[in-house]
Chains A and B, each alone.
Chain A
Amino acid sequence: MIKISDLNFTYGNNFKLNINNLEINNGENLSIIGPNGSGKSTLIKIFSGIINYYSGKIEIENNDISKISKKKLSRIISTVPQDFTTIYDYNTENIIETSRYPYTSFFNLSENKEDRDIIDYAIKITDLERYRKKYYSELSGGEKQRVMIARAIAQDTEIMLLDEFTSHLDPGHTQNLMKIIQNYCINKNKTVISVFHDINLASLYSKRILVMKDGEIKLDGTPYEIITRKNIEEIYGFDCTVISHPIYKVPQIIFN
């Protein structure tokens, strides 16, 4: 179980992140939505260890993450950042291979068969076979995102943090990868926390949605509770119609 209490953070400007209490169960597939600048990525960065100068506590199975070593943490949490670029020309395979570093000794330069298999598997399901030797910096936006998703999958952790991981994907890859991630939660009891701007995707694939605004969690509930015309109006200031998905019966929005 993940437990966040009294979390406070600021970049030193007027943005303040403040989460008093948040609990996430193992195996949960949780979505976070909210307008631009509401602090979604900031929360992901704090959780993944990129930002470490916050006050408050984040616990995983009652262990404070600030007291867990970086290496151990990287065997528990994998992250797909909102965007990722490299300065030097690494190829796709090089980037994905780093996912196995948490499991090997740093002096050991070769990978074992298990590492190789899971990397190959991740490359296969993200449809990147053709891109193995291509420079990451020369890939398209969606291809880059798939590389980082493959990397997170190959890292094989209990918790996955996905920051808008479908934002550049075409519908085919989106559906495919959303299903794979959903199966991880159901079959392998992995905890997935994903940030979305696509409310319909969040509603379709997760049972619990958090709404962030101005650095705080404003709403927390099931898609049925969260996705109403009134709420959407209040969060985004945007007028929509809410309909029920013809097959899955979850709420979906359409633009007015």
Chain B
Amino acid sequence: MTKYLKKRGKIPLLVFLIIISFIMFLLFSSFGTVNIKISDTFRILINKYDNSVIKNLIINARMPRVAGSFIIGSILAISGNVLQLIIQNPLADPYLIGLSSGASFGAVLYAALTLIYSFSIPFGMESFAFAFSLFSTFLVILISKRGKKIPVVSLILSGVIVSSLFNSFTTFFTVLYWRNLIHVNVWLMGSTASLDWNDFFILLTVLIVLIIIIFMMSKYLNLLSMGEEMSVYSGINPDSVRLILLLVNILAVSFCVSKAGIIGFVGLVIPHIVRLITGPYSGITTFYNIFVGGIFLMFSDFLSRSLFAPTELPIGVITSFVGAPVFIFILKRSRKND
């Protein structure tokens, strides 16, 4: 297997991506409202730097944000890839199945409850959004279930229905209380600004668990991506495997949403690009998604805080700006090949 990959140059390219990721990490940690030399950032990293103000800024404000963006990009790309494979739809996005609408609703509801009705709620907006994103996706799965099966078409349809239901509630609240909800809207468009080391380690744990589960289920995933029938012929139950993978990915993405709001297009575009390089599915696609997704989101985070500095753009706006044209380009290109 590795022989086959080496022949195609996939391993060297992966090593290259890992190195690039590290360089990008240093680069984006160095530049922002305060710029320092990349070599200084490296010195900070190996603890050979003296200016404690700068050191503090870089280590405690900027690095966790850059590293956190990387991890979120990885999780979104991996989940997007798995979802696209298991529901047999190359246009699937982790947000397709109601996740983002639930999260938005949760955030807006939280803001409304605390700011307007002065409820005191023992946990923050993030946890509220997390709970509601799970709630909305479970609703989608519940509605689309037919016996033990989750037919793909009904999954997508109930995703659309549940999303529009939650979105109309969100709009309702926003129209009523727009003055109080502006900052919620900014958060909803995606924001990596508040990521700290604590968030980073939580997200890193999520990423590692996600990778382990995907590797354990690698063969199942391979079969499912060839279709339900191929799974049956090769001896697995497609329904239960799909359900497990679906739940694991939803959980992982919900963590991202709760930490950084809704960041579109990463889970849709990155897996496409990776598939162009590696082919449909193999163990190596997951690694590629980690680094390509991570680099993409680190870059987007950099743009979001530097384009109109000191004003920050929501990172979701950047990913859509960059992602949409890239996606159109890929679509056009692949259609030409048909």
Residues of A within 8 A of B (CB): 48-50, 53, 69-75, 78-79, 81, 84-91, 95, 98-99, 101-102, 106-107, 109-110, 151, 155
Q: Within the complex, what minimum Cβ distance (angstroms) separates A126 from chain B?
A: 17
Known: A53-B147, A109-B219, A109-B283. A88 touches B233 (CB 8 A): no
A86 CA / B227 CA spacing, docked (Å): 7
Q: Are the C-beta atoms of A78 and B219 separated by less than 8 Å?
A: no
Q: List 30 A-B contacts (CB under 8 A).
A: A49-B232, A70-B235, A70-B237, A71-B235, A73-B235, A74-B233, A74-B235, A75-B235, A79-B233, A81-B229, A84-B227, A84-B229, A84-B230, A85-B227, A87-B89, A87-B225, A88-B85, A88-B226, A88-B275, A88-B281, A90-B226, A98-B222, A99-B234, A101-B234, A106-B220, A106-B236, A109-B1, A109-B218, A151-B233, A155-B233
Checking A75, A87, A101, A151 against B88 with a beta-carbon cut-off of 8 angstroms, the contacting residue is: A87
A86 CA / B225 CA spacing, docked (Å): 8
Query: B271-297 toward A: CB 8 Å interface, digit per residue (1/0)?
Result: 000010001110100000000000000
Q: Are the C-beta atoms of A98 and B230 separated by less than 8 Å?
A: yes
B238, closest chain A residue (CB): A70
A50 CA / B239 CA spacing, docked (Å): 11
Checking B1, B220, B229, B279 against A50 with a beta-carbon cut-off of 8 angstroms, the contacting residue is: B229
Checking B85, B216, B226 against A107 with a beta-carbon cut-off of 8 angstroms, the contacting residue is: B216
A70 CA / B232 CA spacing, docked (Å): 7
Q: Does B90 contact A (CB under 8 A)?
A: yes
Q: Are the C-beta atoms of A90 and B280 separated by less than 8 Å?
A: yes
Q: Does B303 contact A (CB under 8 A)?
A: no
Provide the residues of chain B in CB contact with A89, threshold 8 Å: 279-280
Q: Within the complex, what minimum Cβ distance (angstroms) separates A140 from chain B?
A: 16
Query: B225-259 toward A: CB 8 Å interface, digit per residue (1/0)?
Result: 11111101111110000000000000000000000
Interface of A (DSSP majority class): loop
Give the 6 A-B CB pairs with smallest separation, nearest first.
A74-B235, A88-B280, A71-B235, A102-B235, A101-B234, A98-B234
A49, closest chain B residue (CB): B232
A73, closest chain B residue (CB): B235
A107 CA / B1 CA spacing, docked (Å): 15
Q: Are the C-beta atoms of A74 and B227 separated by less than 8 Å?
A: no
Q: Within the complex, what minimum Cβ distance (angstroms) separates B324 from chain A?
A: 23
A95 CA / B147 CA spacing, docked (Å): 29
A213 CA / B147 CA spacing, docked (Å): 30
Chain B CB within 10 Å — which of A75, A87, A89, A102 has the most? Answer: A87
Q: Within the complex, what minimum Cβ distance (angstroms) separates A237 from chain B?
A: 32
Known: A53-B147, A88-B226; 4 extra A-B contacts, CB below 8 A, are A81-B229, A90-B226, A98-B233, A107-B216
B237, closest chain A residue (CB): A70
Q: Does B223 contact A (CB under 8 A)?
A: yes
Q: Within the complex, what minimum Cβ distance (angstroms) separates A108 from chain B?
A: 8
A161, closest chain B residue (CB): B233
Provide the residues of chain A in CB contact with B89, threshold 8 Å: 87
Q: Within the complex, what minimum Cβ distance (angstroms) separates B338 from chain A?
A: 10
A84 CA / B1 CA spacing, docked (Å): 26
Provide the residues of chain B in CB contact with A49, threshold 8 Å: 232
Q: Within the complex, what minimum Cβ distance (angstroms) separates A73 from chain B?
A: 7
Provide the residues of chain A in CB contact with B223, threshold 8 Å: 98, 101
Provide the residues of chain A in CB contact with B283, threshold 8 Å: 109
Query: B78-105 toward A: CB 8 Å interface, digit per residue (1/0)?
Result: 0000000100111000000000000000
A135, closest chain B residue (CB): B279
A106 CA / B1 CA spacing, docked (Å): 16
Known: A53-B147, A88-B281, A90-B280. A101 touches B219 (CB 8 A): yes
A10 CA / B237 CA spacing, docked (Å): 22
A86, closest chain B residue (CB): B226
Provide the residues of chain B in CB contact with A75, threshold 8 Å: 235
Known: A53-B147, A89-B280. A101 touches B232 (CB 8 A): no
Q: Are the C-beta atoms of A70 and B236 separated by less than 8 Å?
A: yes
